[in-house]
Amino acid sequence: MIEQAEQQPLQKLVTGIPSFDVIAKGGLPKNRTTLVSGTAGSGKTVFAMHFIAAGIQDANENGVFITFEESPADIRQNVHGFGWDIKKWEREGKFAFVDASPEPDLETVESGSFDLSALLARVQNAVKKVNAKRVSVDSLGAVFSQFSDQATVRRELYRIAIALKQMGVTALLTAERANDYGPIARFGVEEFIADNVMVLRNVLEAENRRRTIEILKFRGTDHQKGEIPFTIVPGTGIVVIPMSAMQLRQKSSNIRISSGNPELDAMCGGGFFRDSVILISGATGTGKTLTVTQFLQGGAAAGERCLLLAFEESREQLFRNAIGWGIDFEKMENEGSLRVICDYPEVAGLEDWLVSIQKTVNEFKPKRVALDSLSALERVGTDKSFREFVIGFTSFIKHQEITGLFTSTTPNLMGGPSITEAHISTLTDSIILLRYVEMFGEMKRGITVLKMRGSIHDKEIREFTIDHAGMHLGRAFRNVTGILAGAPVHVSPSDVERIWELFDEEKRLHKPAGDDS
Amino acid sequence: MTGKTPRAELAIANLRRICEEDLRGQYELQIIDVLENPQLAEDDKILATPTLIKRLPPPLRRVIGDLSDKEKVLLGLEVRPDLLNADSSEPVEDP
């Protein structure tokens, strides 16, 4: 058997758990045992059941679930919300429970040595009965608590693990641990029973829960390393959110699309790129939501479907504002060219937002997605979660060849970067700054295209005004400096002229020789 | 039990002795091989072998192991103390 294993590479079993197979580089090692360890509430049972459910639903592989903790009746009820109809599968002969849950009213006395052959016989019987390819055991720790002779339990579990391999099934064993960081499992032996070890975590960070999965070891085969976020979605189950799988594989498009404002298009060298991500940064009231509104209208006018994710204003406010700029969101929505999702960012974690946004995008298939604003989402999670959200979201929409427009609110009225931008500026293709400019006791607005990947663009800081027809770009602030630093200084026109001349090679070269002093 | 293992044979021998000596032969014993009949183990949720189940008189009681500790067996089965013999405290020999 060993010789055989040396000759052929280890096969993997595609689990069907969304994106898990990506981080596991193809799935769980086939015909092996894998330990899933985690604290209470880390999602072990859901993972173990999803493994079985995905086999039945997607791979035509039947499964056996061995429970040492919850009763089958409880489990059937608990997982029904994920769309897993266990009763139906049991009737169809695709699923079998091996019920080893404790019976509180039945006392059992130990007298002399024993083994768990009866359990093994039941497992073998169940596997044979439904022709199972997948087996989940939930959980090993609970076996220890049912018997006082720990040495026997240890030996017997090891024997069962070996027997599972001989049955030709791929098995998932769960185990509890006391802490998210510490010994792998409570009894210190669980990890030696299985070939492979994975850890699920549910860590409290700054009042937010963050779920991650880490593959600690896969004997003899490759996997992604480190903690990878996942979430548990009603109706689906476990959804892993792999970051490294998404990196920089996108195609790049040369097609230009309109920002909804011809003057802004001109500043950007002819419009935004089809699959680019644009960040609009500005203080409150500088015109970010207006830019978003025009962007959506531009999409609808070009016959493209648009999705607006609004986390700052209510539906009514957004629609009223749009009317104020001469844009009718309601009509766009009725025509099917616009979908608006309005919610408090706090109603879900960032991982859940990412999954639910992806779901909406897959359903609605928009060509443009606007998110107003990233800063509102930033307060929902930790820095790490937020960064992962932005990376996951930008790469997702780029893969779909969707144009994304995000807004970010700067904390200071005048100039100043925000933390949001520090996280995401490198991920965006274009950055447009909207800034207040104080001039002679008046607040004026300035706009500049800071970055435009793969295109020439206007480098000027131009004044703009907002009226009932939207945004109007005016002239550049020629005699003001220090706008972006937040401290505009007025320079007399003659000084400006002189500075420009210094840079203007042609003018200098063509001047009469005598003038050069 | 599961098959004719030495532990199974030992448990049966121990049990028969306890039944004869302490229950004065007032018993009915059924031996089930789980390997031949796994569904019965499933129905009774048996994990360990050997497992001794006392159905009558109620309450239902279970003892697991080779039944080498007679006191524990009697305790676990909750049989009436007046049925116990005076020599029950003597250790049972391991064959």
- A4-33 pLDDT, tens digit per residue, is 445 567 889 999 998 899 888 889 999 999
pLDDT score at A503: 67
Reading the block at residue A506, the tokens are 């042609």
Q: How far apart are CA A46 and CA A75, in angstroms?
A: 10
- End-to-end alpha carbon distance in chain B: 19
pLDDT mean across residues, chain B: 78
pLDDT at residue A369 greater than cutoff 70: yes
As a three-state string, the secondary structure of B18-79 is HHHHHCCCCCCCCCCCCCCCHHHHHHHCCCCECEEEECCCCCCEEEECCCCCHHHHHHHHCC
Residue A342: closest CA among A392, A289, A394: A289
Residue A215's pLDDT band, with cuts at 50, 70 and 90, is: very high
A126 contacts on B by Cβ (under 8 Å): 42
pLDDT at residue A53 greater than cutoff 60: yes
pLDDT at residue B80 greater than cutoff 70: no
pLDDT score at A126: 94
* CB contact (8 A) between residue B7 and residue A146: no
Count Cα neighbours of A69 within 13 Å in the Cβ-side half-sphere: 16
pLDDT mean across residues, chain A: 85
Instruction: Kindly state the average pLDDT of the residues A335-342.
Output: 92
Residue A121's pLDDT band, with cuts at 50, 70 and 90, is: very high
Does this model's pTM top 0.90? My answer is: no
pLDDT score at B82: 53
Q: Scanning the structure block, which residue is given the tokens 């052959």?
A: A117
- A226-271 pLDDT, tens digit per residue, is 888 898 988 889 998 877 555 555 566 788 899 999 999 999 888 8
Residue A316: closest CA among A297, A299, A329, A307: A329
Portion of chain A with pLDDT greater than 70, in percent = 91
Q: Which of A108, A120, A125 sits opposite B64 (nearest CB)?
A: A108
pLDDT score at A510: 57
Q: Which of B5, B46, B67 sits opposite A111 (nearest CB)?
A: B67
Whether A329 and A289 have beta carbons less than 8 Å apart is answered as no
Q: What is the DSSP string of A121-179?
A: HHHHHHHHHHTEEEEEEE-HHHHHHH-S-HHHHHHHHHHHHHHHHHTT-EEEEEEE-SS
Q: How far apart are CA A361 and CA A340, in angstroms?
A: 12
Whether A172 and A137 have beta carbons less than 8 Å apart is answered as yes
Q: How far apart are CA A55 and CA A311, in angstroms?
A: 38
> Which neighbouring-strand residues pair with A37?
A175, A199
pLDDT score at B8: 87
Q: Give the residue on B whose Cα is nearest the Cα of A101.
A: B45
pLDDT score at A508: 55
A116 contacts on B by Cβ (under 8 Å): 47-49
Portion of chain A with pLDDT greater than 90, in percent = 36
Q: How far apart are CA A514 and CA A113, in angstroms?
A: 113
Number of residues that this document lists for chain A: 517
Q: How far apart are CA B18 and CA B70, in angstroms?
A: 7
pLDDT at residue A444 greater than cutoff 80: yes
pLDDT at residue A45 greater than cutoff 90: yes
Determine how many CB atoms are found less than 10 A away from the CB of residue A6. Answer: 9
* CB contact (8 A) between residue A103 and residue B64: no
- A73-100 pLDDT, tens digit per residue, is 999 999 999 999 999 999 999 999 999 9
Instruction: Kindly state the average pLDDT of the residues A259-287.
Output: 89
* CB contact (8 A) between residue A118 and residue B46: yes
- B30-70 pLDDT, tens digit per residue, is 888 888 888 888 888 888 989 988 887 777 888 888 888 88
CA dihedral B57, B62, B63, B64 (to 10 degrees): 150
CA dihedral A440, A445, A446, A447 (to 10 degrees): 180
What Cα–Cα distance (Å) separates residue B40 from each residue in A60, B1, B33, B56? 29, 11, 9, 18
A107 contacts on B by Cβ (under 8 Å): 61-62, 76
Greater confidence, B90 or A376? A376
* CB contact (8 A) between residue A100 and residue B47: yes
pLDDT score at A251: 61
Q: How far apart are CA A327 and CA A254, in angstroms?
A: 28
